[in-house]
Structure 1
Amino acid sequence: MDRRSFFHRVKKEKGIEWNYAADLDTVSSGLDAYKGKLSNDQLMHLLKRVTFGASPNDIDHFKGKKLKKIIHELLYTEEKEPAPPVNNYNDPDSKKEEENYFFDEEIPAGQTWINSTTFNGKNSGRRRNSLKNWWIGLMLNQQSTLREKMVVFWHNHFATQATIVDNARYLYQHNVMLRRHALGNFKAMVKDVTIDPAMLKYLNGAVSTKKAPDENYGRELQELFTIGKGPESRYTENDVKAAARVLTGYRFENKTYTTVFDANRHDESDKQFSAFYNNTVIQGKKGAPGAEETDDLLNMIFAQQEVSRFICRKLYRFFVYHSIDAITEKNVIEPLAAIFRKNDYEIKPVLEALLSSKHFFDPANFNAVIKSPLDFTIGLCREYKISFPDAGNFIDQYGLWEQVRNQATAMQQNIGDPPNVAGWQPYYQEPQYDKLWISSDSLPRRNQYSDRMINNGFAKNETKVVIDTIAFTKTLPTPADPDKLISDAIRRLYNMDLAVTEKTFIKSSILLSGLTGMQSDHYWTDIWNAYLAKPDDKKNTDQVTKRLKSLYKYLMNRPEYQLC
């Protein structure tokens, strides 16, 4: 079976069940560069993987350009630092008499709270929500680069939970740190993550002392963040304990919101590591130089080739496909890992090689991944060019961003709060991987979300976000021709085609419903052209809108729309 057919193997009588043992297409191509301009299907494939949905603006922007130029722009475009999150969370005056009424006396409405020094039980939860909603807004309004997708990748890789870290200012600083390093140097990022206040709190690094070294971060640093659990990952339990001792002494300062190294809490003794690390001994240091042991630890870890393999496998599974067989390991992972090491763990050269490769553009990899909830919810908004309020209406803006976030959360991806330190299971759990995004609970929620965006949308005060079916249809090449309209809509939303019999069914049951005979084809052409000539004709416009809503609702409820 091909890689996209798995979605049709659901045994509906028993709920969502997958055939994990099914043999899928083997892709034998490697990292040889794909040359020349991309077809529309290839461009759509690239954009659906590296951004949230293939937006019409991005399609138009990159159309006709050579792949090398496209990849360079996606990776190397200079981006402005986004404006920080703001206070959108004051309760309205109408709630003043309520027991839980909240008004932030320190931060004026519409101003940022990121420099506030007052965090307490009343404002912290609201600021965390403000941060999460702001993050959704950045995804919805992402520039034509990989950065937003990579921020989510690293958030899943270096997972922290907002509910545990709690303090919104530390969470914001953590997000900015991931954003800064997202396309930079992996080793530098690991160093900053190691001493990041949010991570120090999340994995107990701030309470790790020479008298009681905490092993949480020392373990996850190796198991989840750098070495992994692959066949060549042979670090030992004693290596975890030794790493924990190296990392003692760090804590965060709540007055300055920075990390400090307290030499009095640091284990100054020598740390012995196993044969996996060539029996390295990290010499204990006294005083402020004790912090230098962290660099010694990272240098020792990054000397292991398994670091490069582990990260390249994770990038491959995120951007290409979950299954890595022996051929892919040899033809893709090993060469990528060599590029990673050769470039001193710079991320861009690895992504440039992977996303420019014949392997990435092998047709077997098209539409072979189930969309994550973020890809589904945000991608829908971007593909239909749904407009959200601007910063001048920050109350409604943040409120509508929150409604999108809540939908993704209901589909099992709560941004900022992955389920545990390993991140979301669909990115790592064998053998299911991305199939875990689909269940008897989550699939109906996806359909309900797309149905609602077609019908009534979401509202905040007087502002509404909803799919404008007529505006979307106008962006298609030949909307007056029912056959071409259906084919073009399928290509835009699926990046694949359907059988002629299926398209004929769609035409007769939706665009031409209630009519008989092929002579009725002109009916759609007539009412569409009549709409263009006289859009204020309510009766005709209602007919056009009704049929378009039914068309797009049907297309988004099909299995193909769950794939990217």
Structure 2
Amino acid sequence: MKKSNLWSLRLGFSGKQADKIEKLGLEKFLKNSYESKFDKELPAFLIEEPKTLAELKEFNQSLKIADPEAKKSMLNKQAYSRVEQKKWWIDKMRTSEFPLRESMVCFWHNHFVSTSQKVNINYWVYQYDMILRENAFGNFKELTKHVLKSNAMVKYLDNSDNKKGKFNENLSRELLELFTIGIGNYTEEDIKNGAKALAGLNTADNGAVYRKLEEDNTDKTYFGKTGNWKADDLVDIIFEQKSIPYLITRKILKWFIYDNPPEDLVVYYGDYFRKVNFEIEDLLTKIFTEEYKKDKSGTKIKNPLVYILQLVDELQIENVDYTMITNFLKQQGMDFYNQKSVKGWDGGNSWLTSQIYLQRNNMSDSLCSGRSLTKKTIQPIKEGDKPRFDYEKFEVKIDFATNGNNKAVISELTNRLVFQVNDSMQKDMENLLKYDFDPKEEHANFAVVRLFNYITKLPEYQLI
């Protein structure tokens, strides 16, 4: 696989950026990615959703007194917005000129987990997403502070129930265990006193605020420091700890490059991260530019998102069915805004079980045949007949040079799709695209799509 294709997949969701990486060079490509603009306009599906606490109270009261039909309609509208948000985000990933920002949003989304099912207020989920988007390349300590005081995280980890004299430790525990320094680097007393410091931090119109009657203003000892600490103070103290950089550098290396990051690299990049005061852009630049120089392809299993968006891109599918994509991601265990636990998606080998592999092959078969997995309703021709269902059909085509023979086309596809080719694979591909293949012939594209379908089912195709 060409290096530019490999890194286009690692830094985005398809091979679409390979030409830019070659033309600009990696460092300029990264700079453009960091400076990329993003849409801040409120999506249409959220315009009528409740946003302030007063609007939420009014909505909940209306829900209580609504008749069954009206209640069902209100709840369906909420569910519709949740689905539309997933589709809206996939569109950002697929159409962004420099999609690294959206890849980082997805990374943070799986690091600072907060699910829509638990939060259950679509506007708060959107606000949370925008915090991740705006701070994707910013400062890790400042991002942690923003997350800690977001309505979505406060609701998700039950800090609304954390009050003076009746403490809830969920947010305090996950702040240490999963978000910053990891198990073994704190005590149960730190968790208890962290919960006291977070007591009374509750949802408000523009992010969480302390409620005077519920907060604890006594002195707390946290990692050996004593004072009347609040949310920001906790984060400042955590980021003074020796172990702070390594949990996040390990996860970044796993997200982008290695399913099993070498420990020496975790420490090396972690020490650098501390040196640059936890600036995410600096860390990413160092990791990407140094790892780019190494021949390390095939060290990571594609997640379902990269798998499906690469398929759509390679097959040049227009009017992409985002419902199909969200359903596929859910089937593969990568349902947006709905991780199974606060630990997030496991990644690695969990992305390639026998069932997931079969689902991927089925998806490739369907898309390569020009058939979506989403059914559409076909209205009856005669009055009185029942509607029937059929699958959406569309044209697919593969980009390939039309001035070479079968081996040239095979080489072109494998150079951008798989990290290695052995003799057995080469023989199989030459049996599919035979020596007399004419790239200018009317049905040449059909033959190349069939070759592409074969390649997508190879174990080597699942790796980057």
Deviation at 1:85? 3.2
| Cα contact 1:282–1:297 (8 A) shared by 2 | no
Q: 1:281-311: per-residue Cα shift (whole Å, max 9, x none)?
A: 1236xxxxxxxx2222111111012111221
Summarize the Cα distance change of 1:491–1:267 in structure 2 as closer, same or farther, 3 Å threshold: same
- In structure 2, what is the equivalent of residue 154 of structure 1? 108
| Cα contact 1:387–1:465 (8 A) shared by 2 | no
Query: What letter is aligned with 2:94?
Result: L
Deviation at 1:403? 1.3
Q: 1:3-38: per-residue Cα shift (whole Å, max 9, x none)?
A: xxxxxxxxxxxxxxxxxxxxxxxxxxxxxxxxxxxx
| Cα contact 1:487–1:497 (8 A) shared by 2 | no
Deviation at 1:211? 1.7
| Cα contact 2:49–2:122 (8 A) shared by 1 | no
Q: Which residues of structure 1 form unaligned runs of 5+?
A: 1-39, 88-106, 285-292, 390-399, 427-433, 513-520, 532-540
Match of 1:271 among 212, 220, 224: 220
In 1: Cα distance, 2:280 partner to 2:193 partner? 29
Counterparts of 1:323-334 in structure 2 under 5 Å? 323-325=260-262, 328-329=263-264, 332-334=265-267
Deviation at 1:264? 1.1
Quick check: 1:53 aligned with 2:4? no
Match of 1:529 among 427, 440, 446: 440
| Cα contact 2:402–2:440 (8 A) shared by 1 | no
In 1: Cα distance, 2:207 partner to 2:268 partner? 39
- In structure 1, what is the equivalent of residue 309 of structure 2? 378
Deviation at 1:272? 1.6
- In structure 2, what is the equivalent of residue 356 of structure 1? 289
Counterparts of 1:21-100 in structure 2 under 5 Å? 41-55=2-16, 58-74=17-33, 76-81=34-39, 83-87=41-45
Query: What letter is aligned with 1:339?
Result: Y
Quick check: 1:551 aligned with 2:451? yes
Q: 1:302-353: per-residue Cα shift (whole Å, max 9, x none)?
A: 101211122111111111213244xx42xx3333223322222110000000
Quick check: 1:123 aligned with 2:77? yes
In 1: Cα distance, 2:87 partner to 2:103 partner? 16
- In structure 2, what is the equivalent of residue 191 of structure 1? 145
Summarize the Cα distance change of 1:388–1:193 in structure 2 as closer, same or farther, 3 Å threshold: same
- In structure 2, what is the equivalent of residue 19 of structure 1? none
Alignment partner of 1:227: what SS? coil
- In structure 2, what is the equivalent of residue 454 of structure 1? 368
Query: What letter is aligned with 1:315?
Result: I
Could you tell me the TM-score, scaled by structure 2's length?
A: 0.87
Q: 1:396-439: per-residue Cα shift (whole Å, max 9, x none)?
A: xxxx212111111101110111110010122xxxxxxx111112
Match of 1:341 among 252, 274, 291: 274
Point out which structure has higher relative CO (alpha carbons under 8 A, 6+ apart).
1
Q: 1:221-249: per-residue Cα shift (whole Å, max 9, x none)?
A: 000001112xxx43111110000000011
Query: What letter is aligned with 1:281?
Result: T
Q: Aligned residues: percent identity?
A: 26
Deviation at 1:467? 6.0
- In structure 2, what is the equivalent of residue 493 of structure 1? 417
Match of 1:215 among 158, 169, 189: 169
Query: What letter is aligned with 1:550?
Result: R
In 1: Cα distance, 2:185 partner to 2:423 partner? 54
| Cα contact 2:258–2:299 (8 A) shared by 1 | yes
Q: What value does the CA root-mean-square deviation take over the aligned residues?
A: 2.4
In 1: Cα distance, 2:3 partner to 2:322 partner? 30
| Cα contact 1:249–1:263 (8 A) shared by 2 | yes
| Cα contact 2:259–2:299 (8 A) shared by 1 | no
Count, aligned residues: 432
Query: What letter is aligned with 1:442?
Result: I
In 2: Cα distance, 1:138 partner to 1:350 partner? 24
Match of 2:396 among 456, 468, 472: 468
Q: Which residues of structure 2 form unaligned runs of 5+?
A: 60-73, 379-390
- In structure 2, what is the equivalent of residue 395 of structure 1? none
Quick check: 1:282 aligned with 2:227? yes
- In structure 2, what is the equivalent of residue 405 of structure 1? 326
